[in-house]
Chain A
Amino acid sequence: MRVSRLILSLAGVIALIAAWSNPAIAQDPPAGAPKNLLRSEPFDRVTLIDGTVLLVDPVSPRPLPVIDTAKERDRKRKRDPGVIPEEGNIIPGKVTKLDPDAPDEAKIDDKVRLHALKPAEGEISDFEVKRSDIKRVEYFEDLLLEESDRLVLARDFSQAFECCLWVKSRDPKWPGVEDHVNQILFAEGSRALIEADDERGQRLLRELLSRKPDYPGLIDQLSGAYAKRITRSIELEYYSKGRRILHELESFAPKSLATREMRARFVNRATSRLEAAEGKDPATRLDAMTDALRIWPTLDGVEAKYRVLFATMPTLEVAVVDVPAPLGPYGHSPADLRTTRLIYRPLLEADDDESRQGKRPGQLAQSIELSDLGRRMLIKIRADVPWSDGSRSASAVDVARDLTDRTDPNSPRYIARWAELLDRVEATDDSRLEIRLNRPPLRSGPWFLGPVGPAHAGADGREASANPDRPWVCDGPFTAVLAKADLVEFRRREPGKGVMRIRELRQPSPAAGLAKLRRGDVSLLTRVPPDQAKALAAEPGIKVGAYSRATMHVIALDGRNPVLRLRTLRRALSYAIDRKGLLEEFVIKRPVDEQDRPADGPFPKGSYADAPGVPQLEYNPMLAKMLTAAARKEIGGSPIQVKFEYPPSSEARAVANRLVYAFKSAGVEVQPIEVGESQLESELRAGRKFDLAYRAVRLDEPVSGAGPLLVPGYDAPPGANCLASAASPRILQLLLELERTVDWPSARGLTVQIDRESRDELPVIPLWQIVDHYAWRDRLKGPAKTANRLYELIDTWEIAPWVAKDLESSP
């Protein structure tokens, strides 16, 4: 029984499916009806009272006036000649009311002229149909709106919108078209939100909001979406962006639940940040207040407290691309060079007579006496420079240890050139030091510009104890208090008027640092992307300064890779680079000028080391290909594969992939690898093997800087076999000759010769020279328009408190 019922049911279902799929029975459009309305010619569908459906050219007027049956009957009655009015038709002496020239209404209203859309051959195409014979007229506009409804259900919103647009183009006031547009906006916006395309969804819903604020469910939908975006902004700590979204939300839903919740979330987070720092030291509380105000600037009563606390501890927040790692008395990376002067005093502040006579305040040497053609030096050390741990003052012992550490291949402070130069160091007492060198140096000053660490502390400059949080022992104007992967903090050792704290915040990218400066989250940016410097200088509240020396951008080559020792390949790589094009198009994004220009050698234009008359390095992809083929032949035909390491600076990121593409086009397979700036630079200087590396080097002095520029591991310990990393033996020999030169004219001549021969020998592949910029908010007073180093004259800098105020109106 059950089985037979089941069979019957199945049969019914099958019959239903068959009937639905049978075109004869299904309600198809009439013959000739277009399937895609958007691509068809406009038509109307007329249904007569006998059920005939006609597709006709659009009728006119549109829509047809509605026929009122009572009026029609009355009109017919009046028109009937058999019925004479009671007062009569013609009254003598009176003009008749009948207008012989009046149009015949019956003739107009009774019939509609129709033109068949596609009549069959021999059929009549024009008809006159009585209105009373027409059962229904479906206008093309209505058909389009119906189609748009269907497309909305099918989530084909763009087609649906096109239907509405067509209707509007035919008749902007067609009944129902605006409602349909609203419906599409809502449906599409809601759908986008579901699909996590928040930006699009909100844009569509906001458009609907501007069209019809009281659209059912719109406010709830939009509030939910805004709340979601605000929540995400809070999670990512983009508070100013979150607040801006909140203010937008408040503009259309000021009293909604979502608005209240989001506002409370900001306030709670700011409050909890404050509460977490309660009872802690002033610096922590100040940071908490800064954070809290950054989260919610109008937090009750906090701003006043913040200003009071800030006045006791003016804090400078700096956006950097890289922080020193590890922080100590080293000079391995750009981050080290930037920060070490803050916490360690050098023996000499500058390589000049004023420093040698002890006239500069920020140095350890009181005086330096040279004798025996500079081979013997007697150095007097200042007695009034205490170490931060309070144990003692910096003395000759510290300098002696530092200078001898630089000769120990196992020390991270090892400098090969110094190790070869130094004969012995002797501290005769706490304030006197005698240095003997193996040969007269060209200039002794550059060796004494580096940081001098404490002799009684560890090699890393921190207290020698078992304490895991060993404090740094410093003698500079600041002391290091914190060093993490993304934050380094320095604090002034003695109270003063200026900047008391410096917090270097590592940014994931140069663009992120720039955005923080623009938002006001930081007061100083160490390096502005070259294409942004001009625009940034024009922004209100921001000032831009330039480093006094141009930065040379080069691709370093490791000669320990036999392939890169091939002169042919080096030339191929050089020919493959369109220096001017890359510089103009991707780095500075403007035409080259005297400051920012393609390089023809390792030394910057305008420097005494720049050889005159050296022709520019050409871009010739065809020659690059041919030379690569030649290089491949030299190594036996195997493919040339190298790695290309580059730092995450804006310039390197902008061109890295293009360089890889250029090399690939020339026939060299290159694998790009991004490495942190400090990590890359310190590893290269320590003698790590590499293939190609993007380097940006600011040369203080060409004679002393030529070696490390052309051979990254020039000063590395001998075990790394770093001299072999020189891609050109000829240039290496010139560098070593320069190292032993004792007179200045010969040294200058050699640097010029190195520059000239480097164009052909290509120990590195020169790219371009750029003048770097730094930028600061105008709440910071003191940075100069031009500086050798970022924190130059930091003692004179002042910073004012600042709270980001929101404009609480919707954009």
Chain B
Amino acid sequence: MGGQRPRIVPVSLRSTSLVPIIALVLGGFAPAIGAEDAPPKAIESQPYKVAVSLCCAPGARIDELGRERLLRDWQNLLRRFVGAPWNVMVEPAASPLALLDPDDVKGEAFAKYANNDKVWLIRLQPGAEEGLVFVGREYDVATRRLGSLLVHPIADWEDAPRELLSFSLELFSPTAIITGQEGGRAIMNVRGAALEPASSIGQVVAKGMVFLPLRLVSLKKGGVQILRIPFTYLQVESVSGPTARCAIVSALSDPFTKRISRPNSLAAIAIKPGASRLRLRFTCKPNGEPASGYIVTSRSPGQNEARELGSTDRSGRITLRPGFAPSIVVLRLIAGRVEPLVEFPIMPGESGDERVIPVDPLPRTVALEASVDALRDQVVDLIALRARLEARMKARLEGEDWDGLSEAIDEFKTLAPREKFAETLTKLKDAAAHEQAETKKAVLTRTAQAELADLQSMIDRYLDDDLFKAYIDALDRGRSGAAKKPVANAAAKPGQPKPTPAPVATARPTQPAAPAPAPAPPAAKRPPNQPRGDANVPF
């Protein structure tokens, strides 16, 4: 949703208080360690200083010699393909990092490596099925962020250096500062992006990469608080030198709000799909009961076609396996058949920690939509029956079979009249509006309104009796010897229903509802199923 919205929110980075923050965070600590008199380099020209710990699990049967050979070959490959952007230092085998388990490590474990930009914790171990795998995580020192757990299989041991290079590229998450917004897109300066890589493989930033925006807030006591902007991602749309232009994919209406009391700035760190299971738990507001039995769908940002991922269990949980999507997706929780309760972007395998997402279950709206669905079924059935009878009446008329036409007209008269459905629909609408006014809680949501409008238009369009009346006239004239010509004209008049409209045209799957023609508010530029404002933001 966020990616489609044109939003221009200028971000001022000229505040004097922000300069040290940016320098501290994304410039790294190099200026502090290096020559104090030398002017600090622009961040896009600064390489990443990476400490790498490669540990071989005993089960992998790789000795020290094998490890060294692997690292040596890998470093050769780094020089050939990555070059200047990375400044890699390999930790010895006996490093304390070798004792850490990538799956269960905390950020505090890397406190001693503050003079690096990144720490890569890599473990070579037997795979779950066969062969060896690299398991690893990146720790970004500046943002104090531990990256997703990644697993990379080694198809052939002879190719292990190449696989390690590939794994290193997967682990590497460049950092950037967000310099502003333009045309609803975020503009970023990416660290190291101005350095010429040895090959295109070593390119620091590329189109399609996803960044996690961070807010750096300077505290009164001098420290910097790094806050993640929740349910917000930046997807690189184009790269121009060190500058990347990104689409904002967010569940928030204004993710880069300026309503922050303390001086702050915005930064970003790249994020990639991880190997963790994504655990989500949906709860109902306000009592916190589990939102169980609701369907979760996903779609790529900027696309409308969604696919069903599953439904929440009794405790409102759903676990999404790693790799359920290749990149960032927008998840949606659906009540009933179509009513979206919440929608937010997420990166597959980003974290194994459970996220609790409260939602408003909208029980009255869902009940209303169930009634509308039932009524629509009846209307669709009636349309099908009418179409069949109309086709028969037409054939009888053309064959001048007046008795047959009369019989078909009589049969047509036994069908439920249009007024019955229109009346029921009006009652449903009125009851919902009344309830909404009485309880002061949303009943007629955008989706519900779209459903009602859709059904209303179906009744108006397909349950028109003009054609039927024309056949009655034709029968009267035909029996009295008049020509059937006027009727034929009447039957062919524009805007009449086709003889046999297929019910599928109205029986829609769980896709977002089409924009409501009449009741929809004029500012409906977003897809109608999208949560309005921040009402459904999951925090």
Contacts and interface: CB of A to CB of B under 8 A. Distances in A.
Interface in B105-137: none
Nearest to B385: A623
Contact of A416 (B314, B502, B507, B509): B314
Nearest to A566: B509
A568 B366 contact: no
A732 interface: yes
A733 B366 contact: yes
Given A420-B315, A623-B381, A630-B502, A732 B293 contact: yes
A151 B389 CA distance: 61
B310 A721 contact: yes
Contacts of B367: 753
A627 B334 CA distance: 25
Interface size class of B (residues with CB under 8 A): 20 to 34
B313 interface: yes
A627 B363 CA distance: 29
Contacts of A416: 314
B373 interface: yes
Contacts of B292: 723, 733, 736
B336 A568 contact: no
Interface in B274-329: 289, 292-295, 310-311, 313-315
Nearest to A419: B314
B335 interface: yes
B504 A729 contact: no
A752 to B, nearest CB: 13
B388 interface: yes
* Best-buried of B289, B311, B335, B337 by chain A (most CB within 10 Å): B311
Contact of B507 (A634, A721, A726, A737): A634
B196 interface: no
A543 interface: no
A733 B336 contact: yes
A739 interface: yes
A629 B289 CA distance: 41
A735 interface: yes
Nearest to A567: B507
Contacts of B311: 723-724, 726, 729, 732
Contacts of A620: 381
Interface string A432-470: 000000000000000000000000000000000000000
A718 interface: yes
Nearest to A569: B507
Contact of B310 (A417, A724, A736, A757): A724
B370 interface: yes
Nearest to A421: B314
Contacts of B294: 729, 733
A518 interface: no
Contacts of B373: 567, 760-761
A568 B509 CA distance: 9
B377 interface: yes
Contacts of A721: 310
Given A623-B385, A724-B310, A760 B315 contact: no
Contacts of A753: 367
Contacts of B310: 721, 724
- Provide the main secondary structure of the chain A interface: helix
A430 B366 CA distance: 50
B384 interface: yes
Interface string B373-386: 11001000100110
Contacts of B363: 737
Q: What range describes how many residues of A lie at the interface? A: 35 or more
B486 interface: no
Nearest to B383: A626
A729 B502 contact: no
Given A623-B385, A626-B384, A723-B314, A760 B504 contact: no
B503 interface: yes
A51 to B, nearest CB: 75
A622 interface: yes
Given A723-B293, A729-B337, A736-B293, A630 B504 contact: yes
Interface in A728-783: 729-730, 732-733, 735-737, 739-740, 753, 757, 759-761
A695 to B, nearest CB: 21
Contact of A729 (B289, B295, B388): B295
A648 B7 CA distance: 65
Given A567-B507, A623-B384, A757-B374, A726 B314 contact: no
Interface string A590-628: 000000000000000000000000000000101100110
Contacts of B509: 566, 634
Contacts of A170: none
A567 B315 CA distance: 26
Interface in B314-368: 314-315, 334-337, 363, 366-367
Nearest to B339: A730
B377 A571 contact: yes
B278 to A, nearest CB: 16
A616 to B, nearest CB: 14
Contacts of A629: 502, 504
B337 A730 contact: yes
A729 B314 contact: no
A211 interface: no
A583 B87 CA distance: 81
A620 B334 CA distance: 32
A723 B314 CA distance: 9
A568 B289 CA distance: 32
A260 interface: no
B344 to A, nearest CB: 20
Contacts of A76: none
Given A729-B293, A757-B374, A761-B370, A739 B503 contact: no
Interface of A: 416-417, 420, 566-568, 571, 620, 622-623, 626-627, 629-631, 633-634, 718, 721, 723-724, 726, 729-730, 732-733, 735-737, 739-740, 753, 757, 759-761
22 contacts: A416-B314, A566-B509, A567-B373, A622-B384, A626-B502, A629-B504, A630-B502, A630-B504, A631-B504, A718-B313, A721-B310, A729-B334, A730-B336, A730-B337, A730-B366, A736-B292, A736-B314, A753-B367, A759-B374, A760-B373, A761-B370, A761-B373
3 closest Cβ pairs, A-B complex:
A630-B504, A760-B374, A732-B293
Given A567-B337, A627-B503, 10 more contacts: A420-B314, A420-B315, A718-B313, A723-B292, A733-B292, A733-B366, A736-B292, A757-B370, A760-B373, A761-B373
